[in-house]
Amino acid sequence: MSAGPKSPTLAELPKLPESLAKSVKESHDLKHVETAEKQYIPRPMDVAAEKVDPVLKEAIISHDSSCLKHTNTVEKNVLPSHDDVKREKIEDEMKAGIKQFNPESLRSVSTEEKIVLPSPEDIAREKVPGLITTFNSEKLNHVEPMVKSTLPDANGKLETVFKYEHLLEFARENLKSLAASFDHGGLKHVEPVIKTNVEGELLLCSVTSQKECITCTT
């Protein structure tokens, strides 16, 4: 038989570190403190509740049961309504129909799997990324780019100025054609009157009457 466990000797016991053992042995100057016991006074609600409980218990114990009135117990059976009976009947018929159902009366139907083919637009849309990567740029025709802007060109003119001059040229040519084809037969003859003002400027007046005239400075 094996011997029981031996208790360690005093030398084998673990020792405290020297610093901790020294601080334990040294005396510490502690301050004396008086213990203050605080007693919590119950609230008025707690005092009232404590008074009610004994009074209620004494009233229950000392209650005279002979002053109670005798009452006969009436058992009432609530009959189900017409809707409740109808609902229970439908549920019973449904459960019985499920239990007695003959699966052989069902028709055999073959499963038809429909595969929706993509439209030509969808196929063309899917081919676009591949066509972009494999596109041969040598098939393209060389085109000189035409840059149109309102910024000044090499001659220092704007495109809007060219358009404005083109309109002026068109109006000038149209005015010349109208002047050439104008009928002078409907005009009235007017004698020109030349007057000189105080400053010596020459004024050309077209006399329309004896009292009024239209002046234009030259």
User: How many domains does the chain fold into?
Assistant: 1
| 116 located within any domain | no
| Band of pLDDT at residue 89, cut at 50, 70 and 90 | very high
C-alpha distance from residue 205 to each of 15, 162, 166, 187 (Å): 140, 39, 36, 17
Rounded to a whole number, what is the largest CA-CA distance in the chain? 167
Residue 76 maps to a domain: no
Sheet containing 213-217, strands listed edge to edge, beginning at the edge strand earlier in sequence:
192-196, 202-207, 213-217
For residue 178, being part of any structural domain is answered with no
Domain containing residue 50: 38-62
pLDDT band for position 130 (cuts 50, 70, 90): confident
Tokens of 112: 């038809």
**Does 198 score more than 80 pLDDT?**
no
Question: Nearest CA to 192 among 210, 205, 211?
Answer: 205
Residue 216: partners with Cβ closer than 8 Å, 6 or more residues away: 203, 204, 205
Whether residue 195 lies inside any domain: the answer is no
Segment 76-81 mean pLDDT: 85
pTM score of the predicted model:
0.20
Q: What is the per-residue pLDDT across 20-47, written as a single tens digit (0 to 9) for each?
A: 777 777 766 778 888 888 888 888 888 8
The β-bridge partners of 203 are 195, 217
Would residue 54 count as lying in a domain? yes
In the chain, DSSP finds a helix count (H) and a strand count (E) of: 5, 3
By CB atoms closer than 10 A (0-12, 13-18, 19+), residue 203 is: middle
